Amino acid sequence: MNKLKGKVAVVTGGSRDIGRAISIKLAKEGAKVVVNYYNSESGATETVDVIKSMGGDAIAIKADVSNLEDIKRLRLKTVEAYGNKIDILVNNAGGLFARKSLQELDESFYDLVMNVNFKSTVFVMQAFEPFMSKGSSIINLSSQAARDGGGGGSSIYASSKGAVSTLTKAMAKDLGPKGIRVNAICPGLIGTKFHDDFTTDEIRNKVASATPLRREGQASEVADLVAYLASDEASFINGNNVDINGGLAFS
């Protein structure tokens, strides 16, 4: 515990599911946490309350991280609250929104998915990188879908996450000389509202049964990996897309 003591972390989409688990885990390890949210104010407030109840330090900040002006406001409020040194940035905000075949796609849906998953990652990094220095860590949330194309109707989601994975490698090269590490995590089937909404019980059971560990993952397990990559224990890990899928797929 406390391996992140004194550090400041920003978690986009930190109000629920994997984002909430990450926010709480980083706080448990001693970080001050900015819990970013857009739609789920109650979820963000609950996440902050959980952190404070265990003696941690966190604030919730509303921002649409696919909007550049909102990103600037997120940065401004973060610096006002915790100073101009950011140690950990977790780009977790994202979504599938719907499963659509090629012929069902339209431009507005394409823009929505790409903006929330990929554009946000690009411009949140751009906004916060000037406040990060040697020893800082950026962790992007990609997906197993970036490896295998995802399930039916998720072509744009999978492609957006593939872009996140490639961007991670590029930024690891660009920011590595400054001592800033950039890695991504590629979760497989994790038991969250994401799959409650978009994956049938039949498919979930089939995938879990095909996984060597014979189960779904938990959000807390993803959070543990994020905390490790954010810590000095991972000081020579850079440019990786780390799979966490119970052995279902290998890079």
Q: Which residues carry out catalysis?
A: 157
Find where tokens 């406390």 sit. 2
Residue 136 and residue 181 in contact, taking contact as beta carbons nearer than 8 Å: yes
Here the tokens at position 58 are 């966190």
| Beta-sheet pairing, 57-62 with 88-91 | unpaired
The residue among 214, 217, 195 whose CA lies nearest residue 206 is 214
Here the tokens at position 169 are 């490698």
Here the tokens at position 160 are 């957006």
Q: How far apart are the first and last CA of the chain?
A: 30
Q: How far apart are CA 234 and CA 86, in angstroms?
A: 18
Phi, psi (degrees; rounded to nearest 5) at 138? -115, 130
| Residue-by-residue DSSP string for 187-241 | E-SB-SHHHHHHS-HHHHHHHHHHSTT-S-B-HHHHHHHHHHHHSGGGTT--S-E
Find where tokens 């996450």 sit. 161
Q: How far apart are CA 53 and CA 152, in angstroms?
A: 41
